[in-house]
Amino acid sequence: MQHIILSTVEDESVGRPRADRAHLLFVHAHPDDETIATGGTIGMLVDAGVGVTVLTCTRGERGEVIPPELKHLEGDGPALAAHREGELAVAMRVLGVTDQRFLGEPGARLAGHEPRRYLDSGMQWGADGAEALDALDPASLSAAPLGEVAADVASVIQAVGATGVVSYDAHGGYGHPDHIRAHDAAKRAAEVMGVPFYAVQADGTRGPDDIVVDTAPVFGRTADALRAHRTQITVEGDRFALSSGPFREIVRSERYRQETSHPADSYAWSDLGAAAKVIACALAGLIGIALGGIGTVNHQLVLSVGDARLPSGVTVALVLVAALMVGLRLVFVSRVVALVAGLGILLAVALFTVGGPGGSVLVPANPAGYVWSYGAAMVVALVLVWPNLSALASRNPSRTPRDTMDSAATTKGFPQQ
């Protein structure tokens, strides 16, 4: 637990953790998910004095109902939502959480926007697990613009001063569209606000860097919190079951993995769709060819300062090449787009360098010609081989949740809305 929460808030002057400076935001799709996936960790953090906020995205209006005496709630979205709000409140009291919010409500909504209620998207079972319904309610969480959802999450990060965000993995644990949307929005919000993002690992495969939280000390409270969600969970002894499956053991440890983020103003190559990749590469290639041509035409220009003649043309041309290459490496967390631009630059230089029997007219065999011909290639190669330029981009501490409204809309191939 100290690794996941307190390692970055150690008071160096006295050599011990400063729990009062840590605050974790848990982002979950429906009531009961917070306890099933992270209940033990939440209880441990509360006991350690670490700030905890539980952000629930929907009220689980489409959930199935287990107890026969409550079956009348199933299919009645408003009634089930109200009942599950009460269950969640009980679970929060059991775990000791005093700050639970619903996404889209005041306190969990981007400033300047009217409050909204994100509805449970529902799901159906497919060949690979849970998947989206054929028709989505426009008011549902997974139908909402990703940028808007991420901005609402980011507003909570800002409001509570969260030092870390916890949610599901990229598959949402088992594929539920609301879980996937919660992951994508929470991760993007964490990136924009410059805080670490931790994904719940529940697939049974442990990675070398996974963070395991021993939750045995709060096992009893976790079980009681599960019991609070009566419509969704049946608890028998040390086991629990959902409406969809057999009984399983209540875990005594929970596992997380910190997911690598990229700067908020950048776009991971894997996040872009096929069309976006083609367009990005085409534009980069055209810009590279244009820059290579302009640099070749103007690299012989000199600036006279008194008796001195300064090679301003080749200097400016190389600076522009470096700026383009570095910019593309920073904006796209990949070498692909920068490589295409670099090839465009080198292609233009090569075409203009080739001349007739008397040599090239545009690139004569003089110092500026040699510097341009070989310098451009060296700059392109250096920027391409330099490791992880995006890590050098500092985050802007003045960023606000509003920045997610546009920049988050490309995540994971979700449509622009």
164-178, 210-224, 357-371 — which one is most confidently predicted on average? 210-224
- Based on the domain organization, do 285 and 214 belong to the same domain? no
CB 383 within 8 A of CB 373: no
Would you put residue 53 in left (φ > 0), alpha (ψ -120 to 50) or beta?
A: beta
129: amino acid identity, one letter: G
Q: Which of 65-79, 96-110, 201-215, 358-372 has the lowest mean pLDDT?
A: 358-372
pLDDT tens for each residue of 74-121? 999 999 999 999 999 999 999 999 999 999 999 999 999 999 999 998
pLDDT top residue among 343 and 5: 343
Q: Domain boundary at 210, 240, 261, which?
A: 261
Between CA 154 and CA 103 the distance in angstroms is 11
* 402 in a structural domain: no
- Based on the domain organization, do 32 and 157 belong to the same domain? yes
Domain span at residue 289 reads: 268-392
H, E, C per residue of 43-79? HHHHHCCCEEEEEECCCCCCCCCCCHHHHHHCCCHHH
- Based on the domain organization, do 205 and 315 belong to the same domain? no
pLDDT at 364: 76
- Based on the domain organization, do 86 and 131 belong to the same domain? yes
The mean pLDDT of 239-249, rounded to a whole number, is 90
CB 156 within 8 A of CB 105: no
What are the φ/ψ torsions at residue 413 (nearest 5 degrees)? 70, 10
Q: Which of 130-144, 151-165, 242-256, 372-386 has the lowest mean pLDDT?
A: 130-144
- Based on the domain organization, do 100 and 198 belong to the same domain? yes
Q: Given a cut of 90, is residue 305 above it in pLDDT? A: no
Q: For residue 406, what are its two tokens?
A: 């546009």
pLDDT at 45: 97
The mean pLDDT of 257-263, rounded to a whole number, is 74
Q: Given a cut of 50, is residue 405 above it in pLDDT? A: no
pLDDT at 51: 96
pLDDT at 335: 86
- Based on the domain organization, do 24 and 92 belong to the same domain? yes
73-76 long-range contacts, CB within 8 A, separation 24+: 73/231
Where does the pLDDT of residue 357 fall: very low under 50, low under 70, confident under 90, or very high at 90 and above? Answer: low
* 408 in a structural domain: no
pLDDT at 408: 39
pLDDT at 379: 92
- Based on the domain organization, do 252 and 276 belong to the same domain? no
Q: State percent of the chain over pLDDT 90.
A: 55
- Based on the domain organization, do 221 and 325 belong to the same domain? no
Where does the pLDDT of residue 329 fall: very low under 50, low under 70, confident under 90, or very high at 90 and above? Answer: confident
Q: How many helices (H) and strands (E) does the chain have?
A: 10, 18
The mean pLDDT of 157-169, rounded to a whole number, is 95
> Distances from the Cα of 269 to the Cαs of 187, 253, 332, in angstroms?
16, 34, 6
Q: Given a cut of 70, is residue 416 above it in pLDDT? A: no
Between CA 225 and CA 233 the distance in angstroms is 10
Q: Which of 310-319, 387-396, 403-412 has the lowest mean pLDDT?
A: 403-412
Between CA 303 and CA 176 the distance in angstroms is 64
Q: For 344-358, b where at least 16 C-beta lie within 10 A, e where not — what string?
A: bbbebbeebeeeeee
* 411 in a structural domain: no
- Based on the domain organization, do 161 and 36 belong to the same domain? yes
Q: How confident is the prediction for the chain on average, in pLDDT? A: 83
- Based on the domain organization, do 223 and 309 belong to the same domain? no
Q: Domain boundary at 246, 261, 276, which?
A: 261
Q: Given a cut of 70, is residue 389 above it in pLDDT? A: no
- Based on the domain organization, do 239 and 93 belong to the same domain? yes
pLDDT at 272: 66
The mean pLDDT of 173-185, rounded to a whole number, is 88
pLDDT at 248: 93
pLDDT at 161: 95
- What's the whole-model pTM score? 0.66
Q: Given a cut of 70, is residue 269 above it in pLDDT? A: no
- The total number of structural domains in the chain stands at 2
Where does the pLDDT of residue 311 fall: very low under 50, low under 70, confident under 90, or very high at 90 and above? Answer: confident
The mean pLDDT of 301-325, rounded to a whole number, is 82
pLDDT at 392: 44
* 113 in a structural domain: yes
* 56 in a structural domain: yes
* 403 in a structural domain: no
Give the CATH number, domain containing residue 139.
3.40.50.10320
Between CA 359 and CA 357 the distance in angstroms is 6
pLDDT at 57: 97
pLDDT at 409: 37
pLDDT at 412: 32
pLDDT tens for each residue of 1-55? 445 444 433 333 333 344 457 999 999 999 999 999 999 999 999 999 999 999 9
Q: Is 335 in a helix, a strand, or coil?
A: coil
pLDDT top residue among 123 and 2: 123
Where does the pLDDT of residue 301 fall: very low under 50, low under 70, confident under 90, or very high at 90 and above? Answer: confident
Q: Which of 75-79, 242-246, 264-268 has the lowest mean pLDDT?
A: 264-268
Where does the pLDDT of residue 261 fall: very low under 50, low under 70, confident under 90, or very high at 90 and above? Answer: low
- Based on the domain organization, do 314 and 172 belong to the same domain? no
